[in-house]
Each structure stands twice: as structure tokens, then as C-alpha cells.
Copies of this chain bind each other. A is one copy, B any other.
Amino acid sequence: MKKPTKPTSNPELRGPLDHDVRTQIVEAAEEYFSHYGYEKTTVSDLAKAIGFSKAYIYKFFGSKQAIGEVICSGRLGKIMKAVGVATSTAPSASERLRRMFRALVEAGSDLFFHERKLHDLAAAAAGAQWPSVRTYEGQVRQLIEQIIAEGRKSGEFERKTPLDETVNAILLVMHPYVNPLLLQHNLDFAAEATVQLSSLILRSLAP
């Protein structure tokens, strides 16, 4: 039988409580970064802004990047969710590919550049290939693979080219719009570009 303890030191409770503090730090950091930039902010700045000690923050996150990673991972997760919603009702593999590309760019622009600005967090994450970015790129690849396999099965797409080659090349075409580091240079014409590039990709997939 467990020894009764005060709630705050109860091991059963520590998890959830810690979880709350983590969330609190991440949310405050997200707010702070989007105002003052990620690169220029130090953990001391964050600590002051949140009203915690620097040491307390380090209890939860090993570095500023660890906080940035959670934010980045959250945003990238939202992008994939938006892509899921946009593609789920597509009537064909071709249409799914179009919608996927459009949603990737729209959600990516909104979440990193328009709605809440996190330009330099995006640049840092993409430039140094943070784990969250690698995971995201893996998910994008997987989705393309699924769509191509689906289209090959239904007869919409050609089957001569090795699947890997097809998927790689499509990923390369999308890369400048999917990678946040590059997307920021392409924002002005990204919407128009995804339409034209989707058509080109679909022409390349014609049986």
C-alpha cells in the first residue's frame, strides 16, 4: 500500500502536473517567439516573461531548441491534419494529389508565416533538419506513396517507372513548398505554383 503524500509530491500526480507546466512553458514560448523571434530569444528571456526561474525551465526542457522542437512539431502536426481533412474526400488519386499539395502549402503558409509568424523558428528547424522536420518529411513521402499506389491500382497512373523513382521526383518538385526554409522564398507565387506543378506531375503520371 502506498504511503499517503501531499498532492504536489504524489508520484501519481507528478506526471499530469508536469505535463501542465510543460504545456504552459511551450504556450508562453510560442507567444514570445512569434513576437520577438526564436533566434534572438534566450531561455533567460523566456523565464522572465513566464515568471519562472531559468533553472525551473531547464527542469522540463534541456535547451531552447527542445522547446522549439515541441512548437515546431505541433505546427507540423497541424499541417498534416489539414492535409488529411483536405484529401479524405477526394474522388480520385489525381484529385487527392492536387488537394494534398494545395493543403500542404496553404497550411504551411498559415501556420509558419501568416497567421502566427514563426519565420526564424521554421528556418532553424528546416536548416538543421530537426527531428520534427524529418518526421514531417517522412509523413509527406508516405502520403505521396499511398496516393501513387492507389492511382496505379485504379489505372489512373502509369506503372512503368519504379515507384521509388516516381515518389522521389514528386517529393523533389514539392520540396521547395513543403520545406519551411524554402517556402518563405516562394510564398508570393506558391498558390499559383502548386496548381501548375500539380498539373505537370499529373501529366508525368499519365498511363
Please tell me how many copies of the chain the complex holds. 2
CB of A165 within 8 A of chain B? yes
Instruction: Find chain B residues with CB under 8 A from A201 CB.
Output: 200, 204
Q: Report how far A199 CA is from B160 CA in the complex, Å.
A: 13
Chain A contacts with B in 158-191, Cβ cutoff 8 A = 158, 161, 165-166, 168-170, 172-173, 175-176, 181-182, 185-186
Instruction: Find chain B residues with CB under 8 A from A175 CB.
Output: 176
For this complex, into which size category does the number of interface residues on chain A fall? Answer: 20 to 34
Instruction: Find chain B residues with CB under 8 A from A173 CB.
Output: 173, 197, 200
CB of A193 within 8 A of chain B? yes
**11 A-B pairs, CB-CB below 8 angstroms?**
A161-B203, A165-B196, A169-B200, A170-B200, A172-B196, A173-B197, A173-B200, A200-B201, A201-B204, A203-B203, A204-B204
